[in-house]
Chain A
Amino acid sequence: MPKCTIDGKQIEVAAGTTVIQAAELLGIHIPHFCWHPDLPVDGNCRMCLVEIEKMPKLQIACNTQVTDGMVVQTESPKAAEAHRTTLEFLLVNHPIDCPVCDQAGECYLQDNYMAHGLHESKVELEDKVRKRKVVDLGPIMLDAERCVLCSRCLRFEKEVTGTNSFEFVNRGDNTQISTFENRPITHEYAGNLADVCPVGALLSHDFRFKMRVWFLKSHESVCPGCSTGCNLFVDERDGEVQRLRPRRNPDVNKSWLCDPGRALYHAIGSQTRVTGARVKGAVWEGVSLADAAQRVAAALKEAAGASAFLASPQASNEDLFAFRALAEAAGGRLDFRVGSPEARLRERLDNVLQRADRNPNTQGCLDLGLGRDGVGAILAACAAGQLKALVLQGPELLRVPEAADALAKVPLVVVMATHEGPELERASVVLPAAVWAEAEGTFTNYQRRVQRFRGAVPPPGDARARWELAAAVLEAFGRPLGATSARELFVRVAAAHADYAGLDYRALAGSGRVLPGAGSGVAGSAQEARA
């Protein structure tokens, strides 16, 4: 394994590591535009030039492999001069768009100018080459003047989605990035084009002019859209989520996020959120949470075992643990497999990220043993009139038209719901649930990787995390849960399940941990992770 010295710091790296990667490991940031950790190297921007001993000319750090004994200076006078002049060239035709460009605040040109530029301009505004602006490519907008020709978008289209939408047209200083006939991007990974673009040439249409990024606070979380469990950041300001953007995890989603996943943020602050508990009498009656919990607990006690519990693979491991505790306290039947999500757990929808199972925690349900009594059996019991109470952790069953008759025979149907919908009419008690961005907990993805998500914004009204709702009912039932935080619940999960035993809640932050060994359910492999 070659050892090298960068800016006086030593490091030993795997063979094949480039200087820029080795510098990242040391915490040294070498300025760059075209290099991206998850795209093939191009070496066209010439920004990452560094001085390497025994090499007379400066070398690009992104495409120079570390050799044993290599000594690198990233900011020697020669290298600093190179950074400055490279930046100057890149800025020659750059338009004065900062006030109207959304990239401000996360723009490589701005950041590199302050750190490596600080030069005076030598170009008159009138002499700059004009190119196409405000080109609507569907989910993203193109402004060709701002482009620095780094080809990241081109390489993304070639290597990741395989759609090859972009190409350089014209020559010399008239070179522009373009799609064929300005056709819009039609695949479901367009948002990543705005992310990889280091400047404001490609920008998200959804986020256009919404908010300046320096007002946003980022929270680490995990996407609940499917069983892949891509890592992301929830960016919010003053309790309102403004966008989702990918968080790099080389083993799960690299630096990518699908567009349907990005769009999930709209649902968080939606007007159709369930914000209070309600009970159906002659008409729906709004009640306090404590009141609703009382009624549910009373009904379960009365049912004396003639009850059933359907968990939801949308729920976190902590939610599931609390729900199972409720099922055991009530002595009722327990399952989660409405629509058989476990059958599609590892089935891919495309060759990038998405999976057919549109739930984040089917694996968690399997691991925690919630697939116990069978959904079919439970429905049969409903149809036969054997059940007095049915508690649903999510509205999945309410959306199945075939189950409507069976449900009508159950006197009390309790549902934990996040959003309003016509299906809630089939329930008799609605408990307001918080969505993933409003609570914290863990999901286990298709690889059996346990990943933590954190709350970013407060839930509306009386909405609470599902485990808190279950805890309220348990409290009223007389069998308190004995845990007051998601962390405490995770500790109980780890204690109750051998596979989860070695996991530390704090250590799960970042990129999560894959569960060891085989267990119930399907184990994922590292090959599955490659997007």
Chain B
Amino acid sequence: MASATAMAIAPEVLARPAVRLLQEALGERLRAASDFRGDLAITVDRRAWVDAVRLLRDHPELAFEMFLDLCAADYLDVEGRPERFEVVLHLYSVSKKHHLRLKTPVPESDPRLATISHLFKGANWFEREAWDLYGVVFEGHPNLSRLLTHDAFVGHPLRKDYPQGQRHVLKSPKQMLLNVPAGSEHLLVNIGPSHPAMHGTFRVQALLDGETIVDGEAELGYMHRNFEKMAENRTYWQVIPYTDRLNYCSSFMNGHGWALAVEKLLGVPAPPRAEAVRVILSEFSRIMDHIVCIATNVVDLGAITPFFVMFRAREAVYDLLEACCGARLTVSYVRIGGLAQDVPEDFAARCQQALASCREAWQAGHELLTRNIIFCKRFRDVGVLSREDALSWGWAGSCLRGSGVAYDVRKDHPYSGYEQYDFDVPVGTLGDCYDRYLVRMEEISQSLRIVEQALAKLPGGPVITDDKRVALPPKAEVYSNIEALMNHFKLVYEGILPPPGEVYGYTEAANGELGYYIVSDGSKNPWRVKVRPPCYNNYQAFPQMIKGAMLADAVAIIGGLNVIAGELDR
């Protein structure tokens, strides 16, 4: 695994602007830099952490305005790593269209690092999570308390010496999330976790002055299953069903993202037919997810009809998925290097049926909502988030585009052949709930366009790579010759063995940029997997957004953020 100790930086890496400028500013405190599979990763000394981040964000040549992800990793007893922990930051520049990974080693004897939550608003919850799961203390953090695990939890579960099956029972939940000033006449209410408007299970405690929210604080982790710990104890193939259970409204896309990230790590691409089918099913899943977002959002406001008529399209897509892989919701259809099996013979016909159904749903939704005066009054000018704030929070996807930033991974860093297809990227102007709704509706139309094109261009050929170290051999071979049988056995009990290294694989999922940061030590289990969950960043802004808004507006806003608990809590 790449060590954090000083090593010679290759000249072509040294020439990259980020590396050059950081070295000029930090000198010796720039420890290492490398480019692996196209990912630029820079390691700095932890005393230079804040300076490095500020330089990356503010320098005009670099302009890393968008916060993506921050996490920690545990390198207990790993040779060549004197410090046990490593804090990893991923940033993106929308203007320059490049990604960056900034890392810093943190020793076990003194596990402290300065916070960057004042530089990027989005870093707040990520640092809390790193403290919760690893025990790294972020100095200067406004509220370093447990986020995903509950208050009766003991220990830091993602540490390597924390046993996998260890559990702690919470007997009584945390009553107060907010500090209510003494003698306050405001009303304190819990919104959720068992409230239908809180899609999934999350809880917000709000201090109300009449109908207006004066202060609010969120509590998460009700659905925290520690996917990342499970991933460290499973092979790359076995992680696939776990990815289905992240954003379960569009589960195929999670698997797609995972397969692409591992394929990036391996350097083994999927064949064109597999990529085209992945695009088709991902776009259908995106449509499904947007339908959920829009329809359930308006159900909370009292509009039930769009829910009934739009959800029929989801049935059609479910039938399509079920015909392909045998399951409706948790599909597990992707494999590393392609797909589990080829699509059925009537795939094109089924897709047309699904397309027709989705068009009907779009039409119905549009006719019922877009110019509906009640809807407009509830959604317009509600939940406004500016462009700068959105980038600082690390918003992505429809929410970010609603605030006017035209960043879509499919356009700016195309994968799976998206560059072949013509489609537009919708953006809003104001960044209110109405803009986010319009953007999602337009995205549904664009997804329909993409599916039509992909279907028309669907190439023939295999649906899985022929690399024997990655893909299971065909069953006919396994039954009839020893070579394929041995290959099969080794892949099942040992699995894929990627080279040591780390990658950040990212796709445009329904909620925004879904990233997988994978660290491999060359063995069959990943060393570290961090999911960059798009709705986590989106939801982080929510307590701020509702301050000064009315309770009813809070309900309208949260639906539009499309928070799916499986992805939020992992």
Say whether A105 contacts B486, CB under 8 Å: no
Known: A109-B486, A113-B486, A118-B468. Contact between A123 and B493, CB under 8 A?
Answer: no
Within the complex, which residue of B469, B479, B488 is in contact with A118, where a contact is CB–CB below 8 Å? Answer: B469
Measured between beta carbons, the chain B residues less than 8 angstroms from A24 are none
A residues apposed to B, CB below 8 Å? 91, 94-96, 98-99, 104-105, 107, 109-111, 113-114, 117-121, 123-125, 212, 214
CB < 8 Å A-B pair total = 53
Say yes or no for B36: interface residue by CB 8 A criterion: no
Contact pick for A125, options B468, B480, B489, CB 8 Å: B480
Let me know if B493 and A96 touch, CB within 8 A: no
Tell yes or no: B108 within 8 A of A by CB: no
- Residues of chain B within 8 A (CB-CB) of A117 are 483
Residues of A within 8 A of B490 (CB): 110-111, 113-114
The answer to whether B493 touches A91, judged by C-beta atoms less than 8 angstroms apart, is no
Which residues in chain B, 441-481, are within 8 Å of chain A measured between CB atoms?
Answer: 468-469, 477, 479-481
1/0 contact trace for B481-512 toward A, CB 8 Å? 11111111110011000000000000000000
What separation, in Å, do the CA atoms of A104 and B491 have in the docked complex?
Answer: 12
The answer to whether A104 and B489 touch across the interface, beta carbons within 8 angstroms, is: yes
Q: Judging by beta carbons under 8 Å apart, are A98 and B480 in contact?
A: no
8 A Cβ contacts from B389-427 to A:
none
Per the CB 8 Å criterion, the residue count for chain B at the interface is 17
Q: Is the CB of A96 within 8 A of B468?
A: no
Residues of A within 8 A of B483 (CB): 91, 113, 117, 119-121
Residues of B close to A109: CB separation below 8 A: 486
**Nearest CB in chain A to that of B490: its residue:** A114
User: How far does the Cβ of B492 sit from chain A's closest Cβ, in whole Å?
Assistant: 10
Q: Pick the contact of B482 from A118, A121, A212, A214 — CB < 8 Å?
A: A121
Q: Give the CA-CA distance A120 to B483 in the complex, in Å.
A: 7
State the Cβ distance, A200 to closest chain B Cβ, in Å. Answer: 12
Chain B residues with CB under 8 A of A119: 483
Q: How far is the CB of B355 from chain A (nearest CB, A)?
A: 40
Q: A213 — nearest CB in chain B belongs to which residue?
A: B493
* Residues of A contacting B477 in the complex (Cβ-Cβ under 8 angstroms): 121
Q: Which residues of A contact B494 (CB under 8 A)?
A: 114, 214
Asked whether, in the complex, the Cβ of A125 is within 8 Å of the Cβ of B481, the reply is: yes
Report B337 CB to chain A, min CB distance, Å: 14
- Which residues from A are CB-within-8-Å of B482? 91, 94-96, 98, 121
Binding site secondary structure of chain A: loop
**Given A98-B486, A113-B487, A114-B487, also A105-B493 (CB < 8 A):** yes
Minimum-distance CB pairs A-B, first 5: A121-B481, A121-B483, A214-B493, A118-B468, A110-B486
Q: How far is the CB of B214 from chain A (nearest CB, A)?
A: 55
- Point out the residue from A98, A114, A120, A214 that lies within 8 Å of B485, measured CB to CB: A98
Residues of B within 8 A of A104 (CB): 489, 493
A450 and B480 CA atoms in complex are apart in Å by 52
Q: Which of B469, B480, B489, B494 has the most CB of A within 10 A?
A: B489
Find the residue from A107, A114, A117 having the highest chain B CB count within 10 A: A114
Instruction: Chain A residues near B480: list those with CB within 8 A.
Output: 96, 121, 124-125
Residues of A within 8 A of B484 (CB): 121
Q: What are 24 residue pairs bridging A and B, where the CB atoms are less than 8 Å apart in the complex?
A: A91-B483, A94-B482, A96-B479, A96-B485, A98-B482, A98-B486, A99-B485, A104-B489, A107-B486, A110-B490, A113-B483, A113-B490, A114-B487, A114-B490, A117-B483, A118-B469, A118-B487, A119-B483, A120-B483, A121-B480, A121-B483, A121-B484, A125-B481, A214-B493
- Min CB–CB distance A213 → chain B (angstroms): 9
The answer to whether B493 and A212 have CB atoms under 8 Å apart is yes
- B510 CB, min distance to chain A CBs, angstroms: 38
A125 to B476 alpha-carbon distance, docked (Å): 12
Shortest B19–chain A CB gap in Å is 29
Task: Identify the closest chain B residue to A93 (Cβ).
Answer: B482
> Complex: how many Å from CA A94 to CA B483?
9
Q: How far is the CB of A128 from chain B (nearest CB, A)?
A: 9
**Given contact pairs A96-B481, A113-B487, A119-B483, a sample of 14 additional A-B residue pairs in the complex whose CB atoms are under 8 Å apart:** A91-B483, A96-B479, A96-B482, A104-B489, A104-B493, A110-B486, A111-B490, A117-B483, A118-B468, A121-B484, A124-B480, A125-B480, A125-B481, A214-B494
A488→B444 CA distance, assembly (Å): 68
CB distance from B133 to the nearest CB of A (A): 26
Q: Cβ of A214: which chain B residues have Cβ within 8 Å of it?
A: 493-494
Complex Cα distance A95/B486, Å? 11
The residues of B that contact A96 with a CB separation of less than 8 Å are 479-482, 485
Q: Which residues of B are found within 8 Å of A110, using beta-carbon distances? A: 486, 489-490
A93–B136 CA distance with the chains assembled, in angstroms: 58
Minimum Cβ distance to chain B for residue A338 (Å): 42
Most chain A Cβ neighbours within 10 Å, of B482, B486, B490, B493: B482
Which residues of B have CB within 8 Å of A125? 480-481
Residue of B nearest to A125 (CB): B480
A465 to B514, CA, bound (A): 52
CA A5 to CA B479, docked complex, whole Å:
43
Type the 1/0 row for B263-304, where 1 means its CB is closer than 8 Å to any CB of A: 000000000000000000000000000000000000000000
Alpha-carbon gap, A214 to B489, bound state (A):
11
From B477, B479, B483, B487, residue with most partner A Cβ within 10 Å: B483
Check if A98 sits within 8 Å of B489, measured CB to CB.
yes
A251 to chain B, nearest CB (A): 27
Q: How far is the CA of A99 from the CA of B489 in the complex (A)?
A: 8
How distant is B545 from chain A, measured CB to nearest CB, in Å?
50
Chain B residues contacting A124 (CB-CB under 8 Å) are 480
Q: How far is the CA of A109 from the CA of B481 in the complex (A)?
A: 14
Cα A209 to Cα B37 with chains together (Å): 43
Nearest CB of chain A from residue B300's CB, rounded to whole Å = 48
Q: Which residues of chain B are within 8 angstroms of A118 by Cβ–Cβ distance?
A: 468-469, 487
> Min CB distance, B504 to chain A, in Å?
28
Which chain A residues lie closer than 8 Å to B469 at the CB level?
114, 118
Q: Which B residues from 99 to 143 make CB contacts under 8 A with A?
A: none
Report B-chain residues with C-beta under 8 Å of the C-beta of A123.
481
Nearest chain B CB to A277 CB, angstrom units: 29
A133 CB → nearest B CB, Å = 15
How long is the Cα–Cα vector from A105 to B494 in the complex, in angstroms?
Answer: 8
List the A side residues contacting B486 at CB < 8 Å. Answer: 98, 107, 109-110, 113-114
CA distance A219 to B362 in the complex (A): 62
A118 vs B479: C-alpha distance in the bound complex, in angstroms? 17
| Contact indicator per residue, chain B 371-403, by CB within 8 Å of chain A (1) or not (0) | 000000000000000000000000000000000
Most buried by B among A110, A118, A124: A110
Indicate the member of B468, B469, B481 with the most A CB atoms within 10 Å: B481
Give the docked Cα–Cα distance between A437 and B472 (Å): 39
Q: Which residues of A contact B487 (CB under 8 A)?
A: 113-114, 118
B237 CB → nearest A CB, Å: 15
A212 and chain B: residue at smallest CB distance = B493
Q: Considering the chains assembled together, what is the distance between the CA atoms of A96 and B487 in angstroms? A: 12
User: What CA separation (Å) do A92 and B336 show in the bound complex?
Assistant: 30
Q: How distant is the Cα of A125 from the Cα of B482 in the complex, in angstroms?
A: 9
Residues on B with beta carbons closer than 8 Å to the beta carbon of A107: 486
Q: How far is the CB of B242 from chain A (nearest CB, A)?
A: 21
List chain A residues, Cβ under 8 A from B468.
Answer: 114, 118
Identify the closest chain A residue to B468 (Cβ): A118
Chain B residues near A99: list those with CB within 8 A.
485
User: Which of A96, A99, A107 gathers most chain B CB within 10 Å?
Assistant: A96
Complex Cα–Cα for A107 and B489 (A): 11
Residues of A close to B489: CB separation below 8 A: 98, 104, 110
CB distance from A40 to the nearest CB of B (A): 29
Instruction: For residue B482, give the distance in angstroms from its CB to the closest CB of chain A.
Output: 5
CA distance A395 to B94 in the complex (A): 77
Determine the distance from Cα of A94 to Cα of B486 in the docked complex, in whole angstroms. 11
Q: Which residues of the partner chain A approach B488 to less than 8 Å between Cβ atoms?
A: 98
B479's nearest neighbour on chain A, judged by CB, is A96
Of B486, B487, B488, B490, the most chain A CB neighbours within 10 A belong to B486
**Chain B residues within 8 Å of A94, by CB:** 482
Within 8 Å CB of B479, what residues of A? 96
Q: How far is the CB of B524 from chain A (nearest CB, A)?
A: 10
